[in-house]
Structure 1
Amino acid sequence: MDRDELGAWLRLTLSAGVGNGAARRLLARFGLPQAVFQQSESALQQCVTLAQAKALCTVPSEWEALLDITWQWLEGADPQGPARAVVTLGDHRYPQSLLDTEDPPLLMYLMGPARLVTQAPFPVGRCLAVVGSRNPTAQGADNARLFSRTLRGAGLTIVSGLALGVDAAAHEGALDVVTEAAAQVAPATIAVVGTGLDRVYPRKNLDLAHRIATHGLLVSEYPLGTPPLAANFPKRNRIISGLSQGTLVVEAALASGSLITARMAAEQGREVFAIPGSIHAPQSRGCHALIRQGAKLVESAQDVLEELRLPSAPAVDRQLVDSGSACSNTDPGIHGGADSPVLKALGFDPMGVDALVARTGMDAASLQVALLELELEGRVARLPGGLFQRLGTA
Structure 2
Amino acid sequence: MLLDYFHDDVAAAWNANWKELAQAGLDQSIIDSFIRQRASSNPQRELEKLERLRVQVITIRDNAYPSLLKEISNAPTVLYVAGTLKKEEDSFALGIVGTRKVSAYGRQVTEQFARGLAQGNVTVVSGLAHGIDAIAHTTALDAGGRTIAVMASGLDIIYPSENTGLARRIVESGQGALLTEFPLGVKPDSKNFPARNRIISGLSQGILVTEAPKQSGALITANFALEHGREVFAVPNGIYAMGSVGVNKLIQDGAHLVTDVQDILMSLNLFMIPEHIEMQVALPDNEEEGALLPLLSHDPLHIDEIIRISELPTMTVTSTLMMMEMKGMIKQISPMQYILAR
Normalising by the smaller structure, the TM-score range is: 0.7 to 0.9
In the TM superposition, what is the alpha-carbon distance from 1:315 to its structure 2 partner?
11
1:236-274 CA distance string (max 9 Å, x none): 111111000000001111211101100101111111101
Q: How many residues align?
A: 273
Question: Is the Cα contact below 8 Å between 1:275 and 1:287 reproduced in 2?
Answer: yes
2:27 is aligned with 1:49: yes
Which whole-Å deviations, capped at 9, do the CAs of 1:76-122 have from their partners, x for residues lacking one?
25xxxxx531111222211121111111112111111xxx35x5x38
1:132/1:167 contact within 8 Å kept: yes
Give the aligned partner of residue 164 of structure 2: 206
Question: Where does 1:307-318 land on structure 2 (aligned, <5 Å)?
Answer: 307-311=267-271
Conserved? CA contact 2:99–2:132, under 8 Å: yes
1:19-98 paired onto structure 2 within 5 Å: 25-32=1-8, 33-37=10-14, 39-46=16-23, 47-58=25-36, 60-64=38-42, 67-77=43-53, 83-98=54-69
- Deviation of 1:50 (Å): 2.2
Letter in 2 for 1:226: V
Is contact 1:305-1:312 (8 Å) kept? no
CA pair 246-206 structure 1, distance change in 2 beyond 3 A: same
* SS of equivalent residue, structure 2 residue 188: coil
**Counterpart position of 2:221:** 261
Q: Which has the larger radius of gyration?
A: 1
Matches of 1:173 and 1:74 in 2, distance apart? 29
TM-score between both structures, scaled by the size of structure 1? 0.64
User: Which residue of the partner structure matches residue 195 of structure 1?
Assistant: 153
**Unaligned regions of 5+ residues in structure 2, if any?**
274-295, 300-342
**Cα 1:87/1:207, change in 2 over 3 Å:** same
The corresponding residue for 2:289 is: none
Matched, 1:106 2:77: yes
* Contact 1:249–1:258 (Cα < 8 Å) also in 2: yes
Residues 60 and 76 of structure 2 are in contact (CA less than 8 Å); yes or no, is this contact kept in structure 1?
yes
Task: Give me the whole-angstrom Cα distance separating, in 1, the residues matched to 2:168 and 2:37.
Answer: 35
Task: Decide whether aligned partners of structure 1 residues 155 and 234 sit closer, same or farther in structure 2, where only a CA change above 3 A counts.
Answer: same
Q: Does 1:216 align with 2:161?
A: no
Distance 2:238 2:44 in 1: 52
Q: Give CA deviations for 1:272-312 in whole Å, capped at 9, x if unaligned.
A: 10111110112111111111111101011111111011228
Question: Does the 8 Å CA contact 1:129/1:241 hold for their aligned counterparts?
Answer: yes
Task: In structure 2, give the amino acid aligned to 1:192.
Answer: V
Matches of 2:170 and 2:160, distance apart in 1:
14
In structure 1, the residue corresponding to 2:68 is in which secondary structure? helix
- What is the rounded CA distance, in whole Å, between the counterparts of 1:58 and 1:305 in structure 2? 49
2:120 to 154, 157, 160: 154
Find the aligned partners of 1:122 and 1:73 in 2 and give their Cα distance. Answer: 29
Which amino acid in the other structure matches residue 71 of structure 1? L
Tell me the equivalent position of 2:317: none
**How far apart in 2 are the matches of 1:297 and 1:247?**
12
**Contact 2:72–2:228 at 8 Å: present in 1 too?**
yes
- Mapped partners of 2:58, 2:188: distance in 1: 22
Please tell me whether the aligned partners of residues 148 and 174 of structure 1 are also in contact (alpha carbons under 8 angstroms). Answer: yes
Q: Note closer, same or farther for the CA distance 1:126–1:29 as it changes in structure 2 (3 Å cut).
A: same
Task: Measure, in 1, the Cα distance between the counterparts of 2:143 and 2:70.
Answer: 30
Structure 2 CA distance for partners of 1:59 and 1:193, relative to 1, 3 Å: closer
- Structure 1 residue 125: deviation in Å? 4.1
Identity %: 40
| Kept after mapping to 1: 8 A contact 2:119/2:298 | no
Whether the aligned pair in 2 keeps the contact of 1:145 and 1:171 (CA below 8 Å) is: no
1:59-80 superposed Cα distances (whole Å, 9 cap, x missing partner): 534311xx34532233325xxx
1:154 deviates by 0.6
* Matching of residues 133-148 of structure 1 within 5 Å: 133-148=99-114
1:277 corresponding residue in structure 2: 237
How far does the alpha carbon of each residue in 1:132-174 deviate from its partner, in whole angstroms, 9 at most, with x for none? Answer: 0000211101211121011110110000000000001111110
User: After alignment, is 296-305 or 42-51 more displaced?
Assistant: 42-51
Name the CA shift for 1:37/1:260 in 2 (closer, same or farther; >3 Å).
same
